[in-house]
Every structure is written in structure tokens, then in C-alpha cells.
Amino acid sequence: MSATDTLPVLVPDWPAPARVRALVTTRAGGVSAKPFDTLNLGDHVDDVPAYVAENRRRVAALLPGEPLWLTQVHGTRVADAAIETSGAQADAAIARQARAVCAIMTADCLPVLLCDRAGTVVGAAHAGWRGLCDGVIEATVTAMGQPGETLLAWLGPAIGPAAFEVGDEVRAAFVARDAAAAAAFKPGAQPGKWWAGIYQLARQRLARLGVHAVYGGELCTVSDHERFFSYRRDGRTGRMASLIWLED
């Protein structure tokens, strides 16, 4: 990870082609007041709209163009960042056109960034447990139109396995789709509760698609209060963005 000079962002550490660029914002460097302090990019969390607009302007200044800001609904629809306009309802985006920026907002859910080794297409998926279970990663890879073996994936900051407690219904939903998913759940402190490894679940799904070059997956939003927003930790909070695009 490294930081830019103008905004404290994270840069994925993965062997992506040179024309593939990506970054993840942190909670620092913006103008929002508590509990959205300070670089909240979500326009749906009751932050002051002018603050969100300024925060988005600061992020856009690091990019080759305005990101495609999605209305995320924990679904599996994939948008084309070069065609659709901000506000489109989707939970993933792809781009084949240079300077079209895919953006995913999170505050515990898993952002998955993808590219092909030739640097011809990129994608970003919002993988909360519902979208991950229902196939948002699969939908994104399908939309990218490249064999899994040719893709790289990077798993961004998300709720870690020591913080993500879920009920029987979540575990059952994953296991119903793939019996191997049981390995990603550890018994919780109470009956009917489980500690879920969202990174492990994502790696399983990627492996089934033939995507074995997977990086990241070591950052926990809940435990790192200084850098990350966390809905599980704070309830009312802001959103970070994970962004990916192709240079000219």
C-alpha cells in the first residue's frame, strides 16, 4: 500500500498491467463532520449533500474522469462505466474504455477489483454477503468477457473474520450453493451464530471461476477505526470508495 500526495488513499499491491490503475479511499481527507468524518462519499447516509459533493470532487481530482457512482442494492447487476450515468442501480461495474472509472462504495462489505492480464478490461464488485452469495462476482466476471485464468483480483478492506458474526440463515444460504463454503464459517459464542470469513468465501467463488491470482484480503474495516468506516462498528457512518480504470 502507498498514499498519494494529495489524499490519503490506498493503492492495491498486485501485479496488474501498467495501464490498470486503482485506488481505495480512506475516511480521511474530506470535509464531513462526525459521524461521517471526514471523507464520506455516500450520498445516502444523511450527510450534508454539499459535504458529500466536495468529498467526491476531491476524489475525482485524482482520477481521469468522474466515477460512475452507483445506487447499490446488494444485487448482482453489472453496469458499464462508459455508458451508464451516476445513480444507475447496480452493484458492480466494468470498463473497456480508457478513462471510464468504476466505483464501489463500502463500509464493511467487500470490494472486489478485477482486471485481465492484457489490460483490456477492468471491473469492480460490491460483495456484501447477499450479493456475494447471489453471484455478484460471477456476474462481473461474465460481463468482463474473459476467461477466469486470464484475470487478476484484489480484495479490498472489508469486515474481518473475527468481527463478522452472522446467523444460521447466512451460513445455510452459502452452503446451499456450495458445500465447500462451510469451511468459511466458525462456530460463534452463541448457538445459531457463526463467524464468517467473507474473504475466504470470495476466494472460493473466484477459484470456481478459474481466478486463482487473488491478492489483498488482509484489511479489517471494523478493527481499523483510524482508516476505515464500518457500519457494523458504528452504525451511522460514511462510505469509502474502491475505484478502478484503464489509462489511455
Q: What does the CA dihedral 56, 63, 214, 159 come to, rounded to 10 degrees?
A: -10
How buried is residue 190: exposed, middle or buried, by Cβ count under 10 Å (0-12/13-18/19+)? exposed
pLDDT for res 189: 87
Alpha-carbon distance of 96 to 246, in angstroms, equals 7
Distance CA 63, CA 49 (A): 21
CA–CA gap between residue 40 and residue 175 (Å, rounded): 35
Distance (Å, whole) CA 243 – CA 102: 5
Determine the 3-state secondary structure of 167 from DSSP.
Answer: strand
Q: Which cell is 160 given?
A: 474481518
Question: Tens digits of per-residue pLDDT, 68-89?
Answer: 999 999 999 999 999 999 999 9
Give 237's DSSP letter.
Answer: -
Architecture of domain 9-158+212-246: 4-Layer Sandwich (3.60)
Q: Which of 122, 118, 121, 76 is nearest to 103 (CA)?
A: 122
Rounded to whole angstroms, the maximal C-alpha distance in the chain is 54
CA quadruple 148, 151, 152, 155: dihedral positive or negative?
negative
For range 234-243, the mean pLDDT:
97
**Residue 1: pLDDT over 70:** no
Q: Outline where 66-160 has alpha helix (H).
A: 129-134, 136-144
Q: What pLDDT, on a 0 to 100 scale, did the predictor assign at position 37?
A: 97
pLDDT tens figures, 213-229: 999 999 999 999 999 99
* Measured distance CA(31)–CA(53) in Å, rounded: 10
Confidence (pTM)? 0.96
Q: pLDDT tier at 2 (50, 70, 90 boundaries)?
A: very low
* DSSP letter for each residue of 95-121: E-STTPPEEEEESSSEEEEEEETTSS-
Q: pLDDT tens-digit profile of 172-208?
A: 999 999 999 999 999 998 999 999 999 999 999 999 9
Whether 174 and 135 have beta carbons less than 8 Å apart is answered as no
Q: Is the pLDDT of residue 126 over 70?
A: yes
Average confidence score pLDDT of the chain: 96
